[in-house]
Amino acid sequence: MSADKHLRSWQERFEMAEAMQPLLGKLYRNQGVEVMLYGKPLLSASTIEVIKAHRLVRRHVGEKLRLRESFPFVEALSKLAVKHCKVDIGKLAVNYWKNHSDASEIQAYMTRELEGAMNYGDDTPARDVVLYGFGRIGRLLARLMIERTGQSNKLCLRAIVLRGGKKGDLEKRASLLRRDSVHGAFNGSVEVDEENNAIIANGTYIQVIYANSPDEVDYTKYGINDALVVDNTGIWKDENGLGLHLKSKGSSKVLLTAPAKGAIKNVVYGVNDSDILDTDTIVSAASCTTNAITPILKAVNDKYGIENGHVETIHSYTNDQNLIDNYHKADRRGRSAPLNMVITETGAAKAVSKALPALEGKLTGNAIRVPTPNVSMAIISLNLNGETDRDEMNDYLKHMALQSDLQYQIDFTESTEIVSNDLVGSRYAGVVDSQATIADGKRAILYVWYDNEFGYSCQVVGVMQKMLGLTTLSLPSQK
């Protein structure tokens, strides 16, 4: 009987998750509503992923959240005219069941809690986006934008710009979008329109443009106007170079997916994106490491104050290194990346101060490139102004990951078995490994995982939305 009981329970959960999925999809496509479960996005989640997300709730609140308890909230949400927001049904459901024993008031409760999102953002026009370059970050940005395809989508990928244009290039680019050795197969279909030089992915028509310089392109020829150009080539990093994009017809703003030089604002989404003004035409999304550590450093500094510290980055190798020993202009990077740990420089620690001026001159940093293709770790060693211990520090960071304005940047794990491969595909800027935390008195050492490709790309999308005025509400509001 016990075995039958477990099987029936599993089948009930599986069927409930299956019933939830079409509602989740329609909410996003038709209303721009992203449904979360204690920060975990359910958009495009598989049936098993929906079930696993529910199991994780126990870690956060100490109690189970059953699918039969959360499903009525998704149903209620689907009946409301909420638009362009993130809704955490996990938090809403847990709060509701604390004070109610039946589902009779769920619809009224949801109407009250989500009142501010009714028809939110309907008057905001859709905006065009161009990806200048189609490498590791460019293709992940494409995936993230394509997964949002639907009538409510206002962040529209219209074109990619490439060098070259040799025979077979278009099919090869499409193939790299279809398959990825790290992030797996593209979730959908990718077709090639050779005649019109375009890629069609899940119904999104993406014009492929070949050019040798940013100022050569006339985007208006392709019906693209007032576009945000996202430069992920890393070739130009100052105002003069990036300003070439603004000379192209049809472009109006530029976002660099790398640290910028000069007076260009380096923005870490969630920390200083409020610094972006409507008049800003060139902005940088900083580096993956800066994005990983800055939200956590802000959280720690806000509570304890940081006197000084050091950041050691254990970073997966990148395309800038050599597969086998060969000439490289930088020190050590010419040695085989898959065979060596390579000490190299990083400007991430110093770059933190551009997003968080309170830490100006307080941090040093270094990096070790290691033979893994993705997912990195930052070891943050801090001298604090206030005293703490391991449990207090972990409790505070857990709270920041679940209940603060940084909840979409900071994740938190209590697993004793987690390794780098488990973090591939993480959408967070950084994940605190609480089992490795060391804290005593005014000294703390934090270990922070981050998917230096996908997690960073999610941060870039946030900056893109901010630059284009495509704001979303996050509900329930943090208290």
- What is the pairing mode between strands 282-284 and 265-266? parallel
**Total residue length of the chain:** 479
User: Which of the residues 85, 156, 288, 458 is marked catalytic?
Assistant: 288
Burial class (CB in 10 A: 0-12, 13-18, 19+), 243: middle
- Please say if 458 is a catalytic residue: no
C-alpha dist (Å) from residue 419 to 48, 377, 422, 431: 21, 10, 6, 12
Residue 1 parent element (H or E): none
The DSSP 8-state label assigned to residue 305 in this structure reads -
In the chain, the N- to C-terminal Cα span, in Å, equals 45
C-beta atoms surrounding 33 within 10 Å: 27
Query: Are the C-beta atoms of 117 and 85 separated by less than 8 Å?
Result: yes
Name 444's bridge partners. Answer: 382, 439
- What is the pairing mode between strands 204-210 and 155-162? parallel
Contact residues for 352 (Cβ-Cβ < 8 A; gap 6+)? 290, 293, 294, 297, 359, 363
Strand positions, DSSP E, 83-189 = 85-88, 127-132, 155-162
Query: Are the C-beta atoms of 441 and 383 separated by less than 8 Å?
Result: no
Question: Angle formed by the axes of helices 47-61 and 67-78, to 10°?
Answer: 110
93-132 CB burial, b ≥16 within 10 A, e <16: bbebbeeeeebeebbebbeebbeebeebbeeeeebbbbbb
Please tell me whether residue 350 adopts helix, strand or coil conformation: helix
List the one residue out of 201, 116, 146 whose CA is nearest residue 28: 146
Tell me which residue has tokens 């996202």. Answer: 230
Strand positions, DSSP E, 76-219 = 85-88, 127-132, 155-162, 190-193, 198-201, 204-210
- What is the pairing mode between strands 376-389 and 410-413? unpaired
Query: Are the C-beta atoms of 95 and 58 separated by less than 8 Å?
Result: no
Residue 381 parent element (H or E): strand 376-389
Q: Which two tokens stand for residue 129?
A: 């986006």
Q: Which two tokens stand for residue 24?
A: 């989740």
Which residues are the active-site residues?
288
